Amino acid sequence: MMLLAFDIICDVGFSADTHSMKRHRKSLQQCVRVDSENSAENVNWFETMEAIISTTGLDIRNILPFWMQQHLVKRAATAVFIKQRSKLYKLVDDIIKVKRASAEKGDKNAKADLMSFLIAGDGSVDGLTDNELRSNVITFIVAGHETTAVSLAWCFYSLAKEQSVQARLRDEIRVALSSKTGERLTYTEIEGMEYLNCVTKEILRLYPAAALVPRESINADVLGGYQIPPNTTIMLAPWVTHRSGDWDQPLKFIPERWIGWSGPSGVKRLSYMPFSSGPKMCIGHRLATLEMKCALIDAVNKFELKLLPGFVVKEKLRVTLRPEPSMTLLVSEIP
């Protein structure tokens, strides 16, 4: 799942064909050549990112709450980390150079991606600097692959446990695909698949990838009888909120609970927040949800998922809510 989500965010973010899934079969000996006259270096994208992870001991690099920053400072200043980070910066800078050149030429055949939109801006103010673009690209990678991959792992696990849900979802998928003659489903058609929407919502309720979300108080306040001074970091816990008694049978995987659901309101408006909430909620939540749905459509249509006998998995809270040990399922192709 990591490789799939990694390939998707690199393609959508800046049109990089990483092919991590294919090259993973060769012990991750994949590398990406940037289409630039000045770039002669092949950079192994996935191994570079994984090396940064391993040397810091973290799952996600640059979007860390304050309580993890000290850990990063202690362990990040290693030769391996600096070398891999330099590789990544070099590759991203080359991509920015190519994208800027394409924008200046007005290349109408250039592929639309997130970086192209960032470079174009809205014309109202000066555009982003190269350093700002680089930071955004790295954020795309960091926030855009592990969270989605973890959510998909929990989704396939839940479907393997609940065969009736898997069968009902497969029926809906095949009805939707039967109306297409070799064409892909459109965004509107995917969003119109009610049970698929229910399944993704229920997975994100039970297993929000970001189980803890930091926020900072602006003014003094009182929460649950506790005095909260200004500028205090508060940790929100969607994983706890989503499993509270506000929900009917909160610990059970019941996609049907979302049928006809139009969203919480009033005091319960924050009872469901897998991507946080408010003006600083995850900017990529629609993309992440769409990725999940597309992966489910393809996988559930073609394969049957079953639990591996004796396999026991637990939730391990790191920066994301990971399965421990790594998810292992029985997968068989449907004739």
Torsion of CA 260, 262, 268, 272, to 10 degrees: 90
- Torsions phi, psi of 42, nearest 5? -85, 130
Task: Measure Cα distances from 204 to 102, 148, 290 in Å.
Answer: 38, 10, 13
Nearest in space to 268 (alpha carbons), one of 252, 250, 289, 244: 244
Instruction: Write out the binding residues.
Output: 282
Instruction: Compute the distance between CA of residue 310 and CA of residue 330 in angstroms, rounded to an integer.
Output: 12
Instruction: Write out the binding residues for heme.
Output: 282
Instruction: Compute the distance between CA of residue 1 and CA of residue 206 in angstroms, rounded to an integer.
Output: 19
Q: Which long-range contacts (CB under 8 A, 24 or more apart) does 98-105 make?
A: 98/34, 98/35, 98/36, 99/14
CA 203 to mean position of chain CA atoms? 14
